[in-house]
Amino acid sequence: MDNSRFSPGRWFARTGVAVGAAALLVTGAWHMSAAPGVAAQGVAAQTPSITHAIAGGRDSYADVVKIIAPSVVTIRVEGKASVSPAQFQFPDGPSGDFFRRFFGDPGDRDDPAPAPRQRAPRQRGLGSGVVVSNDGYILTNNHVVDGADTIQVDLTDGQNVTETITAKLVGTDKASDLAVIKINRSGLHPLAMANSENVEVGDVVLAVGNPLGVGQTVTMGIISAKGRSTGSGSGSYEDFLQTDAPINQGNSGGALVNLKGELVGINSQILSSTGGNIGIGFAIPSNMAKHVMDQLRTNGKVTRAQLGVFVQPVTSDLAESLGLKNVNGALIGSVTADSAADRAGLKRGDVIMSFNGQAVHDTNTLRNRVSETAPGSNADVTIIRDGSEKHVSVKLDQASGDKIARRDNESGSADQSSLGVSVAPLTPELASRYKLPRDAHGIVVQDVDPDGRAADAGIQAGDVIEEVNRQPVQSVEDLRAALGKSTDRPVLLLVNREGSSRFVTVRPNNG
């Protein structure tokens, strides 16, 4: 699946480790007792519906906050930090000389004294969570509780901590970065869960959590965008709501609510150049959270459906080459043998436009639509094949991993074509040199003009061109003939790189 990532000039840190100029941070915080550090966070929730308007038309959100404040908790976790044992050494200076005179230097002895046993430092973390049932279930982020030996929950009345209770872990889902914990309490105040499909860009929202451990804090902003994918780490299923409501470390797992006091998202990440809020925060939509939460509460784990296709985004050039009216959908690069898609007759080159009546905007949308469908159920998939719309019924498999889609599948006498590549027929020797599968077919790229259009499209030496404008090519002559038929559209190539196929568009050098 192709998850959009931020440019290389920025940096990502899950525990506050910098790797560039701007960072995606999970909004919780882990630290060791000896040396503070940065890291985890918390959640969102669901339950009976609360319909509450701002009383008397006052320019205030106080009445909404009074409803939601008891539903958002602080989560404190503790676990062992991984450290390597230190080598025993005498201290430097006079005190070290004193010990050496009486005991000798350990390095000079045949049986050096063993290194003294040291107690491993403890790592502590802080995040937030949302009460989702009156009998003690709490939704939070996976990264808030991941690796924790103990989990403590601070209940609050919105101003002060009223009780601290030990929680047990019910289940986690790393792919969505969600987790459910439970405390032994009843009569709690669960937060109502809204339908996040109804959220619109521009809606006013409140973010509630415990940033940097200062205590429960409420901030205000709007929904800045929907359907964001940050590709920030282990979270494979992403459909973030973006908000400018101030979110900081410790807010993870906290609530993003609408003005009815209903949960619309789970605060999860921020993009920042400093580690602090700059107005770009991300929350997991309540619908995704509810789907994962229900499975964790029922089964302790999450099962997802699998279509069995490798897809790529539809770019403007691809849309033009395929004759599509819009730059939407997910283009199938290959179909896994004996998968649900294969059995249903889906083919390479099909463009998936909708899944069960819901539009597929890109590869991330498709992955999320499939993942929310029960394995073994039938799905109606709308595709564009050779310019015509077609409906296909697919009985979905159960996913054994994240195999719904993936990112780039980059895969004789030479001939310098107008694409800016030097190619030759694929021989066993070339297949071995470029580590290609035995059944590879097409023509192999031996050299790429660094100033040519093929290089701009990402084609590399060792790639095998299998098709040109949907026509198979087996020789240099086939390539010349296919290019000779090209129109003013970009040339559509099917390229195999190390066994994986992907469509690539290239504008000829004379284009």
Instruction: Give the angle subtended at the CA of 35 by the CAs of 34 and 38, to the nearest 5°.
Output: 135
Tokens of 24: 């995606």
Integer CA distances (angstroms), 9 to 12, 20, 22, 23, 276, in order: 10, 6, 8, 10, 18
Nearest to 330 by CA among 309, 300, 302, 358: 309
pLDDT of residue 58: 59
CA distance 85 to 30: 22
Closest to 13 (Cα-Cα) out of 301, 286, 275, 349 = 275
Q: How far apart are CA 232 and CA 254, in angstroms?
A: 19
Share of the chain residues as helix, strand and coil, in percent rounded to the nearest 5 = 20, 35, 50
- CATH number given to 415-506: 2.30.42.10
The predicted pLDDT at position 17 comes to: 28
> Which tokens belong to 367?
């992955």
Q: Shortest CA distance to 256 belongs to which of 205, 191, 201?
A: 205
Amino acid 408: pLDDT:
33
CA dihedral 459, 462, 467, 473 (to 10 degrees): 140
Superfamily of domain 305-398, CATH level 4? PDZ domain (2.30.42.10)
Report the chain (511 residues): mean pLDDT per 10 consecutive residues: 35 32 60 40 39 56 92 90 44 50 48 52 86 95 91 88 93 92 94 94 95 91 91 70 92 94 94 84 95 93 89 88 89 88 93 93 88 92 93 90 35 48 76 75 80 79 87 81 72 84 74 41
Across 318-428, the runs of DSSP E, i.e. the strands, are 330-335, 351-355, 358-359, 378-385, 388-395, 397-398, 415-416, 421-425
Where along the chain do its domains lie?
1-83+121-300, 305-398, 415-506
Fold of 1-83+121-300: Thrombin, subunit H (2.40.10)
| Catalytic-role residue among 252, 339, 354, 411 | 252
pLDDT at res. 380 = 96
Residues 6+ apart with CB under 8 A from 211: 27, 217, 247, 248, 249, 250, 251
- Which residue of the set 143, 173, 236, 350 is catalytic? 143
Among 396, 306, 386, smallest CA distance to 348 is for 386
Considering the candidates 2, 154, 173, 177, report the single residue annotated as catalytic: 177
Provide the CA 149 distance to its chain's centre, in angstroms. 25
CA-to-CA dists, residue 244 to 207, 222, 285, 406, angstroms: 10, 6, 15, 30
Has this prediction a pTM greater than 0.75?
no
pLDDT of the residue at 262? 95
What pLDDT score was predicted for residue 100?
47
CB 208 within 8 A of CB 254: yes
Among this protein's residues, is 52 annotated catalytic?
no
> What is the end-to-end Cα distance of the chain in Å, rounded?
31
pLDDT of residue 212: 87
pLDDT of residue 119: 56
What are the counts of helices (DSSP H) followed by strands (DSSP E) for the chain? 10, 29
Judge contact between 113 and 33, C-beta under 8 A: no
Identical topology for domains 1-83+121-300 and 415-506: no
DSSP 183-241: -S--S--PPPB--GGG--TT-EEEEEE-GGGS--EEEEEEEEEEEE----SS-----EE
Q: In this predicted structure, what is the pLDDT of residue 18?
A: 31
Q: Establish whether 252 is a catalytic residue.
A: yes
> What pLDDT, on a 0 to 100 scale, did the predictor assign at position 139?
97
* Amino acid found at 135: D
pLDDT at site 92:
53
What pLDDT score does 35 carry? 36
